[in-house]
Amino acid sequence: MLINKMGRFQFLTILGAPVKRFDSKYVNQLRRNLSTENKYNIKAEYDGRPLYLDAQATTPLDPRVLDAMLPYLTSYYGNPHSRTHAYGWESEAAVEKAREQVAILIGADPKEIIFTSGATESNNISVKGVGRFYGTKKKHIITTQTEHKCVLDSCRALEAEGFKVTYLPVKSNGIINMEDLDKALTPETSLVSIMSVNNEIGVIQPISEIGALCKSRKVFFHTDAAQAVGKIPLNVNEMNIDLMSISGHKIYGPKGVGALYVRRRPRVRIEAIQSGGGQERGLRSGTVPTPLVVGLGAASEIALREMDYDHKWMVHLSTRLIDKICGTLPQVIRNGDPEHSYPGCINLSFAYVEGESLLMALKDIALSSGSACTSASLEPSYVLRAIGTEEDLAHSSIRFGIGRFTTEEEIDYTAEKCIRHVQRLREMSP
């Protein structure tokens, strides 16, 4: 690694790819630039490009991540698995550096990081791969009713193969009851899969407690951490996590890349669900996409370095938004446990307002009525149903996703528009 000074900023050069060191003034300038150049300019007339408040669906590519990726999209294009010439060596070195960056973020060994196409693939490998490998002796899986659809569908696929799956309920605050998990564990249980941070309501599950319980019962613990990695502190060893799914585009990295942490000691055995050349320790065959992996590594390094700063910014903006909306409008319910939630994910139900109508009224703000994978459905969110939300309130929910580059001006604009249109729609409501 070489430290170079260029202008006002320091750069960390990794194999020729510069990544700006953390500078709060620099990040604030990025916020202003993205707000005025690439997103909706609140000072100008609406031009068809809404401002972005859907950070749980995806996040914008951090410009510093793009800087790190560019050399591997142009000059360093070798196949990382070609070990007979310099082109392959260069790419392999970049891939291994990225593997180390991801590992450091979660307190793992680089050899325990498997690159995938994203959290959906990582979840499929974890649930199906572990289930099938141990399926001759243990055919019981435990998960929750509020997991991401890819985990639930993977569990249903195993059920079709003869497995028994327990779908734990959650309390009204969205958090599991540890006694329910303890009672559900049996000698036949091979895997517990519970997400770290919910993608719809932002609640944080008691991951350390779950990990400790699973370890004491000799059951592997997998967590879908797509919404948690880089946003809250996670350490796979301290939390007794055996498998962890990671998504690149949820931490300001590129789309199409993710990672799966697989514990080596004690070893977690997995039956590969994809055949091929045996890359990634035989668990995920296929050529590793060097530019995307480099982007994931850079995003991981930035996330680790700026996590505290980002978290304080999320708390500041979420408090500002909630205070403005709930301080003005009556009968607004926050879904999930506000004391145990990621502050960048705010799910509010507006009584006597149809959520889809409110989204249409707020067409100059990119928001969601739930998960990006289910928001096109007219059915109320299964996550909100699981926490006991009445159907009318479930239909009236909006998810506000605050990100690293969200500005105070955008929050104020969103709150003002939301208040105005909720009041208008309520006046029209019979």
The model's pLDDT over 85-120, given as tens digits with 9 standing for 90+, comes to 999 999 999 999 999 999 999 999 999 999 999 999
Q: pLDDT value at position 278?
A: 85
Neighbours of 100 (CB within 10 A): 18
161 has a pLDDT exceeding 90: yes
The model's pLDDT over 382-426, given as tens digits with 9 standing for 90+, comes to 999 999 999 999 999 999 999 999 999 999 999 999 999 999 999
**Is pLDDT larger for residue 265 or for residue 377?**
265
Give 19's pLDDT tier (boundaries 50, 70, 90). Answer: very low
Class of domain 70-301: alpha beta
So which residues are the catalytic ones?
A: 373
> Tokens at residue 412, please?
């104020």
The percentage of residues in the chain with a pLDDT greater than 70, rounded to a whole number, is: 87
Average pLDDT of the chain, as a whole number:
90
Neighbours of 420 (CB within 10 A): 13
Distance CA 223, CA 192 (A): 8
Alpha-carbon distances, residue 151 vs 55, 146, 373 (angstroms): 21, 10, 13
Give 369's pLDDT tier (boundaries 50, 70, 90). Answer: confident
End-to-end CA distance of the chain: 65
241 has a pLDDT exceeding 80: yes
Q: pLDDT value at position 352?
A: 95
Q: Cis omega (within 30 of 0) on the bond before 380?
A: no
